[in-house]
Structure 1
């Protein structure tokens, strides 16, 4: 038993040493990417009874399967409808390891744009050639529709709903985006971006508009590890609006929650002690000559690492 444990420890030490050597091997080059995109376009015109339901839930980047951007849309009623909708969902990731530093960028995003015009009226229809052909079905349903978006990492939620309306003429545009980036160990940054734009006319109906924003100071953990204190129960921003009657409504709501962390490193650890041959081959702050002199120039940590950031995931429907 003791011999087995010793062998296991030696094997583990060997693997750790190999991993450490690989992290500082300037000749190692690794590049990988992933691009998953879902596109949906629809155009519907007609009269009768209609019901639609659309739901998309993406994971948050580098979250171990935790929830990220979410989009939900629902509508039903009887009468006439003229609907145009475009939806795009993206899951994009880029990874580059040049042997000294690893650069990783990923985002999950949902973009939806809808132009919907509905007018309520009771409809009686004969269906098929059996019982319901001889006994037509009467549909008498006032109009209802709702659009809900959530961004779980920054704890952001926006909601729009119309109920019991005689007519609805609505344009809505939403984007839900969770983006993260790191460069080696020093730089970690990301942003949670959520927006909803509404332009609508509602006749004899009920309209509800709501916005919730949780506390962003601990957004890396908010909604995941401490849901009892940081979920939607204790919002930092809360908007709750209700309108009953006939209204023209225009809304432009945007919540952007950025975060960034730059870890400072100890400069003396990377400089040579026994000559230039002992210097860290991946040191990018100082030349060997500067280390040998012993008086190291001052450097701006943020500018050094920010300059290395060249986004590789530009393009797509969410930019």
Structure 2
């Protein structure tokens, strides 16, 4: 894109566990280019007594910007005109939710914001990835995930700047943080990257054939869903009583 006037652009790129958001605008001379890639795959295996669920996700984003602020006047007819005075803004926000759940916000977020810009020239490269495998083998459940979040900046600007990172993938009471603010004229080069990995295994006690203890109600859902309702009477001893006993 190459033009002189007012511009505004935005991207909202979302997968199940990743998110990227950009917000750019300004009035003046603007030359810019951007591209992105998205991958959001998931598959599960329900054909056997094992339950397997795989996830493979990725977002990539690249952008180049050259902007010089100027007040722009637009003539609308013979007797009416409009003036747009909008200093530049360039914002890139991203979040990898790997490790998040209802009780733990988890994940890693990165943000780069440049606003009230008179001039900015630079490139932005953002990439994140998440892959996981959940397997329920009946007597054991395993989970393995790996991923990363990366944000690279190379910008020269006059205005305000903010760069932040919040890493909640580890100790929530002592998260890793980066918080930088700029006001004036700067040349900044940043290469930020956080690697993510989570592995756990849970052994399941064997409650198979718990007849006359809790009967059918004690069987795990992962067992009963393959047996069918017609087999409930085989395991349900809760209604059985020996003759002569109450």
TM-score by length of 1: 0.56
Q: Report the counterpart of residue 312 of structure 1 in structure 2.
A: none
Alignment of 1:7-86 (within 5 A): 44-59=1-16, 68-86=17-35
1:214 aligns with 2:168: yes
* Aligned residue number for residue 148 of structure 2: 193
Please name the residue that 2:114 is paired with. 162
Q: 8 Å contact 1:213–1:235 — kept in the other structure?
A: no
Task: Give yes or no for contact 1:212–1:238 (8 Å, CA) kept in 2.
Answer: yes
Matches for 1:187-266 after TM superposition, within 5 Å: 187-202=142-157, 204-216=158-170, 236-263=175-202
Is 2:44 aligned against 1:95?
yes
Partner of 2:59: 110
Q: Distance in 2 between matches of 1:56 and 1:238?
A: 24
Q: Deviations over 1:98-153 (max 9, x none)?
A: 736444311333221111111111111223x4xxx522212222111111111233
Q: Separation in 1 of the partners of 2:14 and 2:127? A: 13
Task: Tell me by how many angstroms 1:177 deviates.
Answer: 2.9
Instruction: Report the counterpart of residue 135 of structure 1 in structure 2.
Output: 80
Alpha-carbon distance between aligned partners in 2 of 1:265 and 1:140, rounded to the nearest angstrom: 65
- Structure 1's 237 and 115: CA in aligned 2 closer, same or farther, altered over 3 A? same
Greater share of strand: 2
Aligned-residue Cα RMSD (Å) equals 2.5
Residue deviations 1:133-178 (CA, integer Å, cap 9, x gap)? 5222122221111111112334211110111111111211112333
Counterpart selection for 2:134 from 182, 190, 193: 182
Distance 1:116 1:215 in 2: 32
Unpaired stretches in structure 2, ≥5 consecutive residues: 101-105, 209-246
**CA shift digits 1:154-213 (9 cap, x unpaired):** 4211110111111111211112333211344343111342111111111x2111000001
SS of residue paired to 1:216:
coil
Whether the 8 Å contact between 2:108 and 2:169 is mirrored in structure 1 is: no
Give yes or no for contact 1:216–1:257 (8 Å, CA) kept in 2.
no
Distance, in Å, in 1 between the alignment partners of 2:10 and 2:123 is 17
- 1:149 corresponds, among 64, 81, 94, to 94
Deviates more, 1:68-77 or 1:181-190: 181-190
Q: TM-score, normalised by structure 2?
A: 0.71
Answer yes or no: is the 8 Å Cα contact 1:125–1:137 preserved in 2. Answer: yes
- Equivalenced residues, count: 197
